[in-house]
């Protein structure tokens, strides 16, 4: 079985302009997005305009979570407090 990779997207479904990286898991990608979002001064109650995609065995990308997805509120607005990053990319 092929190893899956994850990446973050913007509102247009394109690679996120700041968080343009490949992640080993959905959780690590989303944690990075949440840290960046909160370090930019946004509230956890705001809809987060970041999506998550997963790689397919054929090398394509499939959307797991759309930006501002409301049905994923448990994922979009977790109750867990995340560590702040030491260096924060520009918002």
What DSSP letter does each residue of 52-63 carry, written as one string? EEEE-TTS-EEE
What pLDDT, on the 0 to 100 scale, is given for residue 3?
86
In a domain, 82, yes or no: no
Q: Are 61 and 50 in contact (CB under 8 A)?
A: no
Q: Are 35 and 84 in contact (CB under 8 A)?
A: yes
Query: For residue 32, which of 20, 43, 41 has the smallest C-alpha distance?
Result: 20
Lowest mean pLDDT among 19-23, 37-41, 62-66, 74-78: 74-78
In a domain, 90, yes or no: no
Q: Which domain holds residue 61?
A: 6-76
- Predicted TM-score (pTM) of the model is 0.73
In a domain, 91, yes or no: no
Which phi-psi region, left, alpha or beta, contains residue 41 (left: φ > 0; alpha: ψ -120 to 50)? left
- The string of pLDDT tens digits covering residues 27-58 is 999 999 999 999 999 987 888 999 999 999 99
Higher pLDDT, 26 or 90: 26
What pLDDT, on the 0 to 100 scale, is given for residue 26?
94
């Amino acid at each position: 079985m092929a190893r899956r990779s994850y990446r973050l997207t913007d509102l247009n479904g394109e690679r996120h302009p700041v968080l343009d990286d490949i992640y080993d898991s959905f959780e690590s990608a989303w944690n990075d997005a949440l840290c960046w979002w909160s370090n930019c001064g946004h509230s956890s109650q705001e809809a987060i305009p970041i999506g998550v995609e997963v790689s397919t065995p054929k090398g394509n990308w499939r959307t797991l979570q759309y930006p501002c997805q409301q049905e994923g509120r448990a994922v979009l607005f977790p109750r867990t407090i995340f560590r702040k990053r030491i260096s924060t990319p520009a918002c």
